[in-house]
Amino acid sequence: MTGVLAVLEQFEGKLHGMSYEALAAAQQIGAELGQPVYAAVAGAGLQQVAAAVAAYRLDKVHVVEHGLLADYTADAYTAALKQLIELHRPAYVIFPHTYQVRDFAPALAASLGRVLVSDVIAHRVENGALTLVRQLFQGKMNADVRFEGDGPHFASVQAGAFRSENAIKAESGGSATEVVTPVLEASRIRTKPLERFRESQRAVDLTAAERIVSVGRGIREVGNIALIEQLAEAMGAELAASRPICDNGWLPMERQVGSSGQTVAPKLYVAVGISGAIQHLVGMKGSKTIVAINKDPEAPIFEAADYGIVGDLFQVVPALIEALKK
Protein backbone atom coordinates (compact mmCIF):
# COMPACT_ATOMS: atom_id res chain seq x y z
CA MET A 1 0.00 0.00 0.00
CA THR A 2 1.73 3.11 -1.19
CA GLY A 3 1.15 6.45 -2.86
CA VAL A 4 -0.96 9.52 -2.38
CA LEU A 5 -4.09 9.69 -4.51
CA ALA A 6 -5.83 13.01 -5.10
CA VAL A 7 -9.49 12.53 -6.02
CA LEU A 8 -10.45 15.54 -8.12
CA GLU A 9 -13.86 16.98 -8.83
CA GLN A 10 -15.13 18.00 -12.23
CA PHE A 11 -18.42 19.27 -13.56
CA GLU A 12 -19.37 19.24 -17.22
CA GLY A 13 -15.80 18.71 -18.29
CA LYS A 14 -14.28 21.40 -16.11
CA LEU A 15 -12.22 20.87 -12.99
CA HIS A 16 -13.54 22.40 -9.77
CA GLY A 17 -11.25 25.22 -8.59
CA MET A 18 -10.49 23.35 -5.38
CA SER A 19 -9.33 20.31 -7.36
CA TYR A 20 -6.04 22.12 -7.98
CA GLU A 21 -5.66 22.68 -4.26
CA ALA A 22 -6.14 18.96 -3.63
CA LEU A 23 -3.54 18.28 -6.33
CA ALA A 24 -1.10 20.62 -4.63
CA ALA A 25 -1.80 18.95 -1.28
CA ALA A 26 -1.19 15.45 -2.67
CA GLN A 27 2.02 16.53 -4.41
CA GLN A 28 3.33 18.20 -1.29
CA ILE A 29 2.45 15.37 1.07
CA GLY A 30 3.70 12.78 -1.44
CA ALA A 31 7.05 14.58 -1.73
CA GLU A 32 7.45 14.81 2.04
CA LEU A 33 6.59 11.15 2.53
CA GLY A 34 8.69 10.10 -0.46
CA GLN A 35 5.72 8.40 -2.11
CA PRO A 36 4.33 8.47 -5.64
CA VAL A 37 1.42 10.80 -6.36
CA TYR A 38 -1.67 9.88 -8.37
CA ALA A 39 -4.84 11.65 -9.33
CA ALA A 40 -8.28 10.29 -10.14
CA VAL A 41 -11.22 11.99 -11.75
CA ALA A 42 -14.63 10.37 -12.22
CA GLY A 43 -17.43 11.09 -14.68
CA ALA A 44 -18.40 10.50 -18.28
CA GLY A 45 -16.78 11.97 -21.38
CA LEU A 46 -13.63 12.97 -19.57
CA GLN A 47 -11.05 13.33 -22.39
CA GLN A 48 -10.67 17.06 -21.87
CA VAL A 49 -10.51 16.89 -18.09
CA ALA A 50 -8.05 14.01 -18.29
CA ALA A 51 -5.75 16.13 -20.44
CA ALA A 52 -6.03 19.05 -18.03
CA VAL A 53 -5.07 16.82 -15.10
CA ALA A 54 -2.26 15.15 -17.04
CA ALA A 55 -0.67 18.56 -17.43
CA TYR A 56 0.36 18.23 -13.77
CA ARG A 57 3.26 16.20 -12.50
CA LEU A 58 1.72 12.89 -11.45
CA ASP A 59 2.84 9.27 -11.50
CA LYS A 60 -0.50 8.31 -13.03
CA VAL A 61 -3.88 9.84 -13.79
CA HIS A 62 -6.81 7.45 -13.31
CA VAL A 63 -9.72 8.43 -15.51
CA VAL A 64 -12.77 6.71 -14.07
CA GLU A 65 -15.25 6.67 -16.97
CA HIS A 66 -18.79 5.37 -16.94
CA GLY A 67 -22.12 6.53 -18.30
CA LEU A 68 -23.63 6.12 -14.84
CA LEU A 69 -21.16 8.69 -13.51
CA ALA A 70 -22.42 11.40 -15.87
CA ASP A 71 -24.75 12.89 -13.26
CA TYR A 72 -23.25 12.83 -9.79
CA THR A 73 -24.79 10.41 -7.30
CA ALA A 74 -23.24 9.37 -4.00
CA ASP A 75 -23.97 5.70 -4.72
CA ALA A 76 -22.22 5.58 -8.11
CA TYR A 77 -19.24 7.68 -7.01
CA THR A 78 -18.75 5.65 -3.85
CA ALA A 79 -18.90 2.36 -5.73
CA ALA A 80 -16.59 3.51 -8.53
CA LEU A 81 -13.95 5.02 -6.27
CA LYS A 82 -14.06 2.09 -3.88
CA GLN A 83 -13.19 -0.19 -6.79
CA LEU A 84 -10.34 2.07 -7.84
CA ILE A 85 -8.93 2.24 -4.31
CA GLU A 86 -9.19 -1.51 -3.79
CA LEU A 87 -7.40 -2.10 -7.08
CA HIS A 88 -4.56 0.38 -6.65
CA ARG A 89 -4.32 0.44 -2.87
CA PRO A 90 -3.00 3.97 -2.25
CA ALA A 91 -1.81 4.71 1.28
CA TYR A 92 -3.49 8.12 1.32
CA VAL A 93 -6.53 9.51 -0.46
CA ILE A 94 -6.91 13.30 -0.54
CA PHE A 95 -10.09 15.18 -1.50
CA PRO A 96 -10.92 18.87 -1.78
CA HIS A 97 -13.55 19.60 0.91
CA THR A 98 -16.31 20.54 -1.54
CA TYR A 99 -20.05 20.06 -1.10
CA GLN A 100 -19.87 16.99 -3.33
CA VAL A 101 -17.06 15.49 -1.28
CA ARG A 102 -19.09 16.11 1.88
CA ASP A 103 -21.84 14.08 0.22
CA PHE A 104 -19.93 10.89 -0.57
CA ALA A 105 -16.40 10.77 0.89
CA PRO A 106 -17.49 9.95 4.47
CA ALA A 107 -19.48 6.98 3.12
CA LEU A 108 -16.61 5.88 0.90
CA ALA A 109 -14.20 5.87 3.84
CA ALA A 110 -16.75 4.09 6.04
CA SER A 111 -17.36 1.46 3.38
CA LEU A 112 -13.67 0.57 3.79
CA GLY A 113 -13.86 0.69 7.58
CA ARG A 114 -11.97 3.98 7.74
CA VAL A 115 -12.64 7.48 9.04
CA LEU A 116 -12.21 10.50 6.80
CA VAL A 117 -10.28 13.36 8.42
CA SER A 118 -12.40 16.17 7.10
CA ASP A 119 -11.68 19.84 6.42
CA VAL A 120 -7.92 19.76 7.03
CA ILE A 121 -6.18 23.16 7.26
CA ALA A 122 -2.53 22.14 7.62
CA HIS A 123 -0.21 19.17 7.84
CA ARG A 124 3.28 18.17 8.88
CA VAL A 125 5.41 15.10 8.38
CA GLU A 126 7.68 13.97 11.21
CA ASN A 127 9.74 10.80 10.98
CA GLY A 128 7.66 9.66 8.06
CA ALA A 129 4.39 10.07 9.95
CA LEU A 130 1.70 12.46 8.81
CA THR A 131 -0.08 14.74 11.28
CA LEU A 132 -3.13 16.67 10.08
CA VAL A 133 -4.58 19.80 11.63
CA ARG A 134 -8.31 20.47 11.62
CA GLN A 135 -10.52 23.03 13.30
CA LEU A 136 -12.94 22.43 16.14
CA PHE A 137 -15.58 24.73 17.64
CA GLN A 138 -16.05 26.72 14.47
CA GLY A 139 -12.41 27.67 14.21
CA LYS A 140 -11.89 28.54 17.86
CA MET A 141 -9.65 25.50 18.47
CA ASN A 142 -7.29 23.42 16.39
CA ALA A 143 -6.74 19.69 16.70
CA ASP A 144 -3.81 17.51 15.66
CA VAL A 145 -4.99 14.22 14.23
CA ARG A 146 -3.02 11.14 13.19
CA PHE A 147 -3.91 8.01 11.32
CA GLU A 148 -3.70 4.65 13.00
CA GLY A 149 -3.15 1.23 11.45
CA ASP A 150 -3.11 0.41 7.76
CA GLY A 151 -4.28 2.62 4.95
CA PRO A 152 -6.00 3.66 2.92
CA HIS A 153 -6.18 6.85 4.96
CA PHE A 154 -8.65 9.51 3.89
CA ALA A 155 -8.50 13.29 4.27
CA SER A 156 -10.25 16.27 2.73
CA VAL A 157 -8.59 19.69 2.60
CA GLN A 158 -10.28 22.98 3.39
CA ALA A 159 -10.68 25.67 0.74
CA GLY A 160 -7.55 27.79 0.66
CA ALA A 161 -5.45 25.54 2.93
CA PHE A 162 -3.25 24.58 -0.01
CA ARG A 163 -2.60 26.95 -2.87
CA SER A 164 -3.53 25.90 -6.38
CA GLU A 165 -0.62 27.86 -7.85
CA ASN A 166 1.71 25.51 -5.95
CA ALA A 167 0.49 22.54 -7.97
CA ILE A 168 3.48 21.46 -10.05
CA LYS A 169 3.09 21.05 -13.80
CA ALA A 170 4.44 18.03 -15.63
CA GLU A 171 7.50 18.33 -17.79
CA SER A 172 6.86 18.07 -21.50
CA GLY A 173 4.45 15.43 -22.72
CA GLY A 174 2.30 15.39 -19.61
CA SER A 175 1.61 12.57 -17.16
CA ALA A 176 0.43 9.11 -18.09
CA THR A 177 -3.33 8.56 -18.04
CA GLU A 178 -5.20 5.31 -17.71
CA VAL A 179 -8.90 4.93 -18.33
CA VAL A 180 -10.66 2.60 -15.93
CA THR A 181 -14.24 1.41 -16.31
CA PRO A 182 -15.84 0.56 -13.00
CA VAL A 183 -18.55 -2.06 -12.69
CA LEU A 184 -21.74 -0.16 -11.93
CA GLU A 185 -25.37 -1.19 -12.01
CA ALA A 186 -28.17 1.31 -12.54
CA SER A 187 -30.34 -0.61 -10.06
CA ARG A 188 -27.82 0.07 -7.27
CA ILE A 189 -28.09 3.83 -7.64
CA ARG A 190 -30.84 4.72 -5.25
CA THR A 191 -31.04 8.49 -5.61
CA LYS A 192 -32.28 10.26 -8.70
CA PRO A 193 -30.79 13.72 -9.26
CA LEU A 194 -33.01 16.18 -11.15
CA GLU A 195 -32.21 19.51 -12.82
CA ARG A 196 -29.94 22.01 -11.14
CA PHE A 197 -31.52 25.41 -10.73
CA ARG A 198 -30.93 28.88 -9.29
CA GLU A 199 -33.40 30.68 -7.15
CA SER A 200 -34.46 34.19 -8.26
CA GLN A 201 -32.04 36.51 -10.01
CA ARG A 202 -29.81 38.46 -7.69
CA ALA A 203 -31.05 42.02 -7.45
CA VAL A 204 -28.01 43.16 -5.47
CA ASP A 205 -24.60 42.65 -6.97
CA LEU A 206 -22.27 42.78 -4.00
CA THR A 207 -19.33 41.82 -6.20
CA ALA A 208 -19.36 45.31 -7.73
CA ALA A 209 -19.35 47.13 -4.38
CA GLU A 210 -16.22 49.06 -3.45
CA ARG A 211 -17.03 48.97 0.24
CA ILE A 212 -19.10 46.47 2.22
CA VAL A 213 -20.30 46.57 5.81
CA SER A 214 -21.36 43.09 6.85
CA VAL A 215 -23.38 42.16 9.90
CA GLY A 216 -23.43 38.91 11.88
CA ARG A 217 -25.28 37.31 14.72
CA GLY A 218 -23.66 39.65 17.24
CA ILE A 219 -26.42 42.08 16.26
CA ARG A 220 -28.86 39.97 18.30
CA GLU A 221 -32.17 41.31 16.94
CA VAL A 222 -33.60 42.32 13.61
CA GLY A 223 -34.42 45.76 14.99
CA ASN A 224 -30.72 46.48 15.54
CA ILE A 225 -29.84 46.07 11.88
CA ALA A 226 -30.77 49.72 11.32
CA LEU A 227 -27.64 50.64 13.27
CA ILE A 228 -25.46 48.77 10.79
CA GLU A 229 -27.36 50.34 7.91
CA GLN A 230 -26.38 53.74 9.30
CA LEU A 231 -22.75 52.65 9.47
CA ALA A 232 -22.89 51.42 5.88
CA GLU A 233 -24.35 54.71 4.80
CA ALA A 234 -21.70 56.69 6.65
CA MET A 235 -19.02 54.66 4.88
CA GLY A 236 -20.65 54.72 1.47
CA ALA A 237 -20.86 50.95 1.64
CA GLU A 238 -23.27 48.18 0.62
CA LEU A 239 -24.86 46.17 3.40
CA ALA A 240 -24.13 42.43 3.60
CA ALA A 241 -24.49 39.68 6.19
CA SER A 242 -23.42 36.29 7.46
CA ARG A 243 -25.65 33.33 6.87
CA PRO A 244 -27.61 33.24 10.16
CA ILE A 245 -28.85 36.78 9.49
CA CYS A 246 -30.27 35.71 6.12
CA ASP A 247 -31.51 32.38 7.54
CA ASN A 248 -33.55 34.38 10.04
CA GLY A 249 -34.95 36.46 7.23
CA TRP A 250 -33.47 39.66 8.72
CA LEU A 251 -31.84 40.47 5.40
CA PRO A 252 -32.54 38.89 2.00
CA MET A 253 -30.46 35.88 0.90
CA GLU A 254 -28.86 37.92 -1.87
CA ARG A 255 -26.91 39.87 0.74
CA GLN A 256 -25.25 36.77 2.16
CA VAL A 257 -21.49 36.53 1.86
CA GLY A 258 -19.76 33.17 2.01
CA SER A 259 -19.50 29.73 0.49
CA SER A 260 -23.25 29.52 -0.01
CA GLY A 261 -23.66 33.21 -0.75
CA GLN A 262 -21.66 35.69 -2.77
CA THR A 263 -17.89 35.89 -3.03
CA VAL A 264 -16.77 39.49 -2.75
CA ALA A 265 -13.47 41.34 -2.90
CA PRO A 266 -14.12 45.03 -2.18
CA LYS A 267 -11.54 47.63 -1.21
CA LEU A 268 -12.99 47.63 2.30
CA TYR A 269 -14.89 44.90 4.15
CA VAL A 270 -16.10 45.65 7.65
CA ALA A 271 -17.31 42.60 9.60
CA VAL A 272 -19.47 43.55 12.56
CA GLY A 273 -20.38 40.84 15.08
CA ILE A 274 -19.21 38.09 12.74
CA SER A 275 -17.11 35.27 14.22
CA GLY A 276 -15.23 34.37 11.05
CA ALA A 277 -16.23 30.77 10.32
CA ILE A 278 -14.44 29.39 7.28
CA GLN A 279 -17.65 29.36 5.21
CA HIS A 280 -17.86 33.10 5.74
CA LEU A 281 -14.14 33.77 5.27
CA VAL A 282 -13.97 32.09 1.85
CA GLY A 283 -16.48 34.62 0.62
CA MET A 284 -14.57 37.76 1.68
CA LYS A 285 -10.94 37.08 2.41
CA GLY A 286 -9.94 38.44 -0.97
CA SER A 287 -10.97 41.93 0.20
CA LYS A 288 -8.17 44.48 0.15
CA THR A 289 -8.68 45.86 3.64
CA ILE A 290 -10.60 43.93 6.27
CA VAL A 291 -11.91 45.41 9.51
CA ALA A 292 -13.38 43.32 12.32
CA ILE A 293 -15.47 44.57 15.22
CA ASN A 294 -16.08 41.83 17.76
CA LYS A 295 -16.28 41.58 21.52
CA ASP A 296 -14.37 38.29 21.60
CA PRO A 297 -10.61 38.85 21.18
CA GLU A 298 -10.23 35.17 20.21
CA ALA A 299 -12.78 35.34 17.38
CA PRO A 300 -11.21 33.83 14.23
CA ILE A 301 -12.25 36.89 12.21
CA PHE A 302 -9.34 38.83 13.74
CA GLU A 303 -6.97 36.44 12.02
CA ALA A 304 -8.29 37.66 8.67
CA ALA A 305 -8.47 41.32 9.67
CA ASP A 306 -6.04 44.13 8.94
CA TYR A 307 -7.63 46.33 11.59
CA GLY A 308 -9.68 45.23 14.54
CA ILE A 309 -11.63 46.70 17.40
CA VAL A 310 -12.27 44.43 20.36
CA GLY A 311 -15.42 45.73 21.91
CA ASP A 312 -19.18 45.80 22.15
CA LEU A 313 -20.56 46.70 18.75
CA PHE A 314 -23.45 48.58 20.34
CA GLN A 315 -20.90 51.04 21.70
CA VAL A 316 -18.31 50.91 18.96
CA VAL A 317 -20.61 51.34 15.96
CA PRO A 318 -22.32 54.57 17.14
CA ALA A 319 -18.87 56.00 17.99
CA LEU A 320 -17.65 55.00 14.56
CA ILE A 321 -20.58 56.68 12.85
CA GLU A 322 -19.76 59.84 14.82
CA ALA A 323 -16.07 59.68 13.94
CA LEU A 324 -16.86 59.23 10.25
CA LYS A 325 -18.83 62.48 10.24
CA LYS A 326 -15.79 64.45 11.35
Ligand X SMILES: Cc1cc2nc3c(=O)[nH]c(=O)nc-3n(C[C@H](O)[C@H](O)[C@H](O)COP(=O)(O)OP(=O)(O)OC[C@H]3O[C@@H](n4cnc5c(N)ncnc54)[C@H](O)[C@@H]3O)c2cc1C
Give the residue with the Cβ less far from ligand X, 26 or 277: 277
Are the beta carbons of 98 and 72 closer than 8 angstroms? no
Tell the smallest beta-carbon distance from residue 277 to another protein (Å).
Answer: 9
3-state SS class at 92: strand
Picked from another protein, ligand X, none, the partner binding residue 273 (CB below 5 to 8 A depending on kind) is ligand X
Are the beta carbons of 23 and 39 closer than 8 angstroms? yes
- State the SS3 of 8-32: ECEECCEECHHHHHHHHHHHHHHHH
Tell the smallest beta-carbon distance from residue 270 to another protein (Å).
Answer: 9
Are the beta carbons of 242 and 270 closer than 8 angstroms? no
d(CA 225, CA 314) in angstroms, rounded, equals: 11
Tell the smallest beta-carbon distance from residue 16 to another protein (Å).
Answer: 8
Give the residue with the Cβ less far from another protein, 56 or 147: 147
All residues at 6 or more sequence positions from 301 whose CB lies less than 8 Å from its CB, including other chains: 271, 274, 275, 276, 281, 292, 294, 308
- Kindly write out the interface string for residues 184-223 of this chain, putting x where it contacts ligand X by CB under 6 A and - elsewhere: --------------------------------xxx-----
Give the residue with the Cβ less far from another protein, 172 or 190: 190
Tell the smallest beta-carbon distance from residue 212 to another protein (Å).
Answer: 11
Are the beta carbons of 98 and 18 closer than 8 angstroms? yes
Q: Which of 27, 98, 175, 275 binds ligand X (CB under 6 A)?
A: 275
Contact between 299 and ligand X by CB under 6 A: the answer reads yes
Picked from ligand X, another protein, none, the partner binding residue 216 (CB below 5 to 8 A depending on kind) is ligand X
DSSP H or E stretch at residue 122: strand 116-126
> What is the dihedral angle through the alpha carbons of 2, 11, 187, 197, rounded to the nearest 10 degrees?
150
Are the beta carbons of 161 and 25 closer than 8 angstroms? yes
Contact between 260 and ligand X by CB under 6 A: the answer reads yes
Could you write out the DSSP letters of every residue in 214-273?
EE-GGG-SGGGHHHHHHHHHHHT-EEEE-HHHHHTTSS-GGGBBSTTSB----SEEEEES
Tell the smallest beta-carbon distance from residue 6 to ligand X (Å).
Answer: 22
Give the residue with the Cβ less far from ligand X, 59 or 103: 103
Contact between 106 and ligand X by CB under 6 A: the answer reads no
Are the beta carbons of 10 and 46 closer than 8 angstroms? yes
Are the beta carbons of 94 and 6 closer than 8 angstroms? yes
Contact between 243 and ligand X by CB under 6 A: the answer reads yes
Q: Which of 261, 268, 287, 292 binds ligand X (CB under 6 A)?
A: 261
Tell the smallest beta-carbon distance from residue 243 to ligand X (Å).
Answer: 3
Contact between 294 and ligand X by CB under 6 A: the answer reads yes
Of residues 51 through 90, those in contact with ligand X by CB under 6 A are: none
d(CA 214, CA 238) in angstroms, rounded, equals: 8
Tell the smallest beta-carbon distance from residue 284 to ligand X (Å).
Answer: 9
Give the residue with the Cβ less far from another protein, 146 or 169: 146
Contact between 313 and ligand X by CB under 6 A: the answer reads yes
Q: Which of 303, 312, 319, 324 binds ligand X (CB under 6 A)?
A: 312
d(CA 48, CA 63) in angstroms, rounded, equals: 11
Query: By the criterion CB under 6 A, which residues form the site for ligand X?
Result: 216-218, 242-244, 256-261, 273-275, 277, 279-280, 283, 294-296, 299, 312-314
